Each structure stands twice: as structure tokens, then as C-alpha cells.
Amino acid sequence: MAALKSYDILDTDPEAEYDDIATMAAQISGCQFAYISFCDDTRFWLKSKCGYPEDFCERPRELSMCPATILQTDLLIVEDMRNHPHYKELPSVKNPPHTRFYCAMPLINPEGYALGTLCVWDPGQTQLNQKQQNCIRSLARQVLKLLEMRRRINELQKRHDKLLRLVTRMRSLLQP
């Protein structure tokens, strides 16, 4: 949780860079749905999504496939969730939209913490060839690059603010 908080990403507004990655993941995979999610104590929050209603932005951890994904170090692919003993009872599998195919890549930061996932899924059965799988991996790396830039910008902004406060204080001390 501390690693995720260092990025100040949870509950932020949509950003085109993340939305573009989710859209590309859906297009590359041929899946109807894609998202970039981050995991806190109780939920998976969607930073970006493709194919979802505008107001859908989170799911409780226990109703999501993401907890299984963040325990991986590479792609998690389930070609037919209806036949998988751990996932066939999930509400999204049993009820509309009837998730069938699922593929996700954990978003693991440089310190080794899984922050969330880049996921594609579809109600129809789908398979991804090796090139498509590699593209999903590449897109996940791009999400991580965006996150690292975000963290660095936030750190620089905090330093800048601290220096401004210091300069203001020094000026007040030097004025007669």
C-alpha cells in the first residue's frame, strides 16, 4: 500500500495517456474490454477503461480477477473462465457480461511491488498469439513508465514547494 500511495494515482481523474494504453490493449487483443487498475486494501480501482460504462470505476477485491494477477510475475491467461475451478463462480462470469476470456499483466514497480494490472477480457472465447501477448507486456511497461514519471514529478513538486516556503521564510527574516 505504501508503494502504491507514493504514486498519488488512486481516485485521480482520467488521463489520456492511460486511456490510450487501455484502448490499444483492447485493439491489439481483439477484446471488447480493457482496463488499467490499481489495488488498495479493499478494491481494485480503474484508472482507465475501454468498453465499460462511464460510471464504473471500481470493484471489490473479492469479486475481481486482479488479486490472482498481482500474485504473478507474467501474464495470467484464462481462456475459458466458465471452466476454471477458481473463477467460474465470479459474478462477472455467471452474470452479464459473462466474462469468458481473461488476460492480465501485473504492474510491478522497480522495487518489486505489484501495484495493479493491465487487463483485457472478452465474453467470447479468445486466444492471444505470442505477438499479442508481447504487446500486452509492452503496454504494461509503458504504464509503469508513466507511473514512475508521475512519482518523480510529484517528488520534484514537493521539493519545489518546500524551497519556496524556505525562500519566503528567509525573506521575512531578512526584511527590517
pLDDT band for position 65 (cuts 50, 70, 90): confident
Considering the domain delimited by 2-174, tell me its CATH architecture: 2-Layer Sandwich (3.30)
Give the pLDDT of residue 156.
Answer: 95
DSSP string over the chain: -HHHHTTT-TTPPP-HHHHHHHHHHHHHHT-SEEEEEEE-SSEEEEEEEESS-TT--EEEGGG-SHHHHTT-SS-EEES-GGG-TTTTTSHHHHSTT---EEEEEEEE-TTS-EEEEEEEEESS-----HHHHHHHHHHHHHHHHHHHHHHHHHHHHHHHHHHHHHHHHHHHHH--
**What single-letter amino acid sits at 130?**
Q
Give the pLDDT of residue 110.
Answer: 94
Domain residue ranges of the chain, discontinuous segments joined by + = 2-174
Single pTM value for the model = 0.89
User: Residues 107-163: pLDDT tens digits?
Assistant: 999 999 999 999 999 999 789 999 999 999 999 999 999 999 999 999 999 999 999
Give the pLDDT of residue 37.
Answer: 95
Give the pLDDT of residue 54.
Answer: 86
Q: Averaged over 152-176, what is the pLDDT?
A: 92
